[in-house]
Amino acid sequence: MAARRSTARISDWITYGALVCASLFALLPLLWGLSTSLKPPTEVSAWPPTWIPHTPTLENYAAVLANPKYVRYLLNTLGVTFVVMLLGIGLAAHASWVVARTRFRGKSAMMFLMWATVMIPGVSIIVPMYLLSVDLGLYDTYTVLVIVYCASVVPTLVWLLRGFVASIPQELEESALIDGSSRAGVFYRIVVPLMRPGFGAAAVLVFVTVWNEFLIGYALVLGDEHRLIQVGVYYFVTDVGIEWGPLMAGMIISALPIVILFAALQRYFIQGLTGGAVKG
Amino acid sequence: MTRAAVPTLPSNLPLADRAIGRGDLQCRPQKWGRVLLPYGFFLPAFLLVAAVSFIPLGYAIQQSFHAADYMGMGRFVGLQNYSRFLGDGQGWRNLWQAFVFVAGSVAIALPLGFALACALNRPIRFRGLFRTILILPWLVSNLVVALLWAWMLNAQFGPVAYLVSQLGGTLPNAVTSPALAMPALIIANVWHSYPLVMIFVLAALQTVPAELYEAARIDGASAWNRFKLITLPMVRNTTLVVLVLTTLHTFNNVTMVFVMTGGGPVGMTETLALRVFVEEFKYYQTGIASAAAVIIFALNLLFSVVYIRVLRGENTAKA
């Protein structure tokens, strides 16, 4: 008995040791970036490097936020994200309900095709997307960004929301039908309000996808007017050479909304980002 | 006589009440709803997704067999784009570098994520805190991952270089060093990828009933046997799924490579995915870029089919 207790204690210590080491591996790059963003230029290039800034300053953040381009990138990204949320979740919510609840001709073939698109890697279609968007006069517009981002999130959103629809007791919908509601009315008045937790996870999925996306934002946008934050930070770097202090500040501002949202909505995050495969 | 058994209800009653008597009445006004509504609800989403995925894919495949004029499809050239891509050896090098990047990343991220999931599945203190911290690297974008690690490994001002110098060595600039560029990319990618493995495996572990372990313990099974005979089979499918996800994410990843090394030094980290991007947006070689893009798509497809086969085989074998 005593022997078993002591082996249990040893394995506990090994567990804690491993978790602490892994946490350091996870945190150190982030902390190093944060520390750099709070240093004046002289300290950024100090040797030996310091983890805690001797003279912490917010000047890097001030410089980044005073740059009208950077603010423009942030607002562009917010706007595109918001429209994709409304449009993508709207489309996916309608589709997910009929996928979960009704049978119609061609359903399985269309669903197979829709989910097959998830297997098409972005890099395989980015070149034609660029060429086609130029042909269609959509290159360098918000419209093309919204369309492409919507299309890239909708299959996962349908998959995710279908799970939430399936968890709504079907008797509710049937009794509303018997009470004389139209089918569409059942969806808007009964199903949509009950899908709210699903919308939370869906919104997180859209937010993180659009906010963190680089490739499409790079290939389909020409100038500062429609540029999104990830590409903006990339250009922001090369514009000024590499000034690590402001770069890290700009980068941290760009990553902050997601980290804050994650802290507040961890469950939705895990559900949304794993497409509902993991319940959070 | 049977007529009398079904009383005729007055038509000003609510629909539900009438429906009790005459079943078809509730359906007829809703024929539109039953037949057309599913299409009305499903098609907008479907058509958008299909148009934005299959049209460009078809275009890429067609383009890969045609010469590229400026911004347009040129004449049919058969397999010439493919032979130009693979013929000079660079295409094969891209494929090899993609393989090294994927194999290196998966070989570290998978066991690491798995081990951390097992650790987080134990009844320990601060479990929630550890889990939150360990998930963080997954939330930041590829761009941020690349910049953070380039700065961590910076040879002039970075903490890793300082550590190496304290140990009496010198760290060459990781992103421009032929020996270190690929390992640096792999480390950055492992940092970004292990949390997904951890989350999936942890979720699978939590579905394993505790009684199984209890019973095995009473039967005298060792810790290793409990792991091998209970844990592994129960999380095997999930692990396979997340292995495929990580493999494909890494194989298709352009952004991290583009931002961190740009494929350098001298093309030593130019993966297949990066090559597509560089050919199109740097050299405007649409033909070669399309051939490479189609090869990437074919490899994705091949890999997914193999994995579905394996998963199916597993399940039918079990049943």
**pTM of the predicted model as reported, rounded to 2 decimal places:** 0.88
Inside any domain, residue B69: no
Token representation of residue A90: 């709207």
Chain mean pLDDT for chain A = 90
Q: What is the pLDDT of residues A234-243, one digit of tens each?
A: 987 765 668 8
Report the largest interatomic distance among the alpha carbons of chain A, rounded to a whole angstrom.
Answer: 76
Euclidean distance between the first and the last CA atom of chain A, given in angstroms as a whole number = 37
Instruction: Assess A235–B contact: CB distance below 8 Å, yes or no.
Output: no
Residue B95 lies in a domain: yes
**What percentage of chain A carries pLDDT values higher than 90?**
64
Instruction: Give the Cα separation of A141 and B236 in Å (integer).
Output: 45
* Per-residue confidence band for A279, with pLDDT thresholds at 50, 70 and 90: low
Each residue's pLDDT tens digit, B139-155:
999 999 999 999 999 98
Reduced 3-state DSSP string for chain B: CHHHHCCCCCCCCCHHHHHHHCHHHHCHHHHHHHHHHHHHHHHHHHHHHHHHHHHHHHHHHHHHCEEEECCEEEEECCCHHHHHHHHCCHHHHHHHHHHHHHHHHHHHHHHHHHHHHHHHCCCCCCHHHHHHHHHHHHHCCHHHHHHHHHHHCCCCCCHHHHHHHHCCCCCCCHHHCCCCHHHHHHHHHHHHHHHHHHHHHHHHHCCCCHHHHHHHHHCCCCHHHHHHHHHHHHHHHHHHHHHHHHHHHHHCCCHHHHHHCCCCCCCCCCCHHHHHHHHHHCCCCHHHHHHHHHHHHHHHHHHHHHHHHHHHHHHHHHC
Q: Is residue B268 part of a domain?
A: yes
Least confident range of A158-172, A254-268, B14-28, B270-284: B14-28
Q: Which residues of A touch B112 (CB under 8 A)?
A: 22
Residue B124 within any structural domain of the chain: yes
CB contact under 8 A, B140 and A258: yes
Structure tokens belonging to residue B134: 């360990």
Q: What does the pLDDT read at residue B21?
A: 40
Query: Which chain A residue lies closest to B57 (C-alpha atoms)?
Result: A125
Whether B86 is in a domain gets the answer: yes
State the distance between the two ends of chain B, measured CA to CA, in whole angstroms: 55
CB burial class (10 A; 0-12, 13-18, 19+) of residue B319? exposed
Residue B229 domain flag: yes
A123 Cβ neighbours under 8 A, 6+ residues apart:
A215, B252, B254, B273, B276, B277, B293, B296
A110, closest residue in chain B (CA to CA): B46
Distance of CA A119 to the CA centre of its chain: 19
Residue B80 CA to residue B87 CA, distance in Å, equals 10
Rg for chain B, CA atoms, rounded: 29
pLDDT given at position B70 = 65
Tens of pLDDT, residue by residue over B31-90, are: 666 788 999 999 999 999 999 999 999 999 999 999 886 667 888 888 989 999 998 889
Alpha carbon distance B147, B153 (integer Å): 10
The pLDDT of residue A277: 72
Q: Cβ of B53 and A125 within 8 Å?
A: yes
Q: CA-to-CA distance for A88 and A116, rounded, in angstroms?
A: 18
Instruction: Judge: B144–A255 Cβ closer than 8 Å, yes or no.
Output: yes
- Cβ under 8 Å to B: A residues 116-155: 117, 119-132, 134-135, 147-148, 150-152, 154-155
Residue B73 phi/psi, 5-degree rounding, is -80, 125
| 3 state DSSP class of A237 | helix
Domain range for B181 is: 80-318
Give me the pLDDT at residue B23, please.
40
Residue for token pair 């394995």 = A11
Which of A182-191, B29-38, B182-191, B310-319 is predicted with the least confidence, judged by mean pLDDT? Answer: B310-319
Q: Does residue B248 belong to any structural domain of this protein? A: yes
Tell me how close the Cα of A92 comes to any Cα of chain B, in angstroms: 6
Residue B303, CB-side half-sphere exposure with 13 Å CA sphere: 22
Determine the distance in angstroms separating the CA of A228 from the nearest CA of chain B, rounded to an integer.
13
As given in the structure block, the two tokens for residue B182 are 């690929």
Measured between beta carbons, which residues in chain A are less than 8 angstroms from residue B260?
A: none
Q: What is the pLDDT of residue B25?
A: 40
More confident residue, A47 or A143: A143
In a mutational test of the A interface, the residue from B25, B28, B49 whose CB has the highest number of chain A CBs within 10 Å is B49
For B257, how many CA atoms within 13 A lie in the half-sphere containing its CB?
30
Percent of chain B with pLDDT over 70: 87
Closest CA to B153 of B190, B185, B178: B185
Nearest-CA distance from B46 to chain A in Å? 6
CATH number at residue B297: 1.10.3720.10
Better-scored residue on pLDDT, B178 or A237: B178
What's the number of domains chain B is made of?
1
Q: B220-251 pLDDT, tens per residue? A: 888 888 888 888 888 888 898 899 999 999 99
User: What is the per-residue pLDDT for B319?
Assistant: 41
Average pLDDT score over residue span B163-189: 90
B58 contacts: CB under 8 Å, gap ≥ 6: none
| Packing angle of the helix pair B142-152, A244-264 (nearest 10 deg) | 130
Q: pLDDT at residue A40 above 70?
A: yes
Q: Please give the Cα distance from B239 to B314 (Å, whole number).
A: 13
User: Which of B15, B32, B36, B41 to mutate to probe the A interface, most A CBs <10 Å?
Assistant: B41
Collapsed DSSP state (helix, strand, coil) of residue A245: helix
Q: Is the pLDDT of residue B254 over 80?
A: yes
Q: In chain A, positions 147-206, which contact chain B (CB-CB < 8 Å)? A: 147-148, 150-152, 154-155, 158, 177-180, 182-184, 187
Q: Give chain B positions within 8 Å (CB) of A25.
A: 191
What pLDDT does A84 receive? 97
Average pLDDT, chain B: 85
Please tell me the least confidently modeled range out of A99-113, A204-218, B68-82, B268-282.
B68-82
Whether the pLDDT of residue B134 is over 90: the answer is yes
Phi, psi (degrees; rounded to nearest 5) at A209: -60, -50
Quickly state the pLDDT bin for B187 (edges 50, 70, 90): very high
Q: Indicate whether B191 belongs to any domain.
A: yes
pLDDT of residue B35: 80
Nearest residue in chain A measured CA to CA from B140: A255
Encoded tokens for A21: 């080491």
- The residue whose two tokens read 């509303």 is A176
Length of chain A in terms of residues written:
280
d(CA B308, CA B293) in angstroms, rounded, equals 23
Highest mean pLDDT among A106-120, B93-107, B233-247: B93-107
Cβ atoms A77, A206 nearer than 8 A = no
For B121-130, what is each residue's pLDDT tens digit? 988 889 989 9
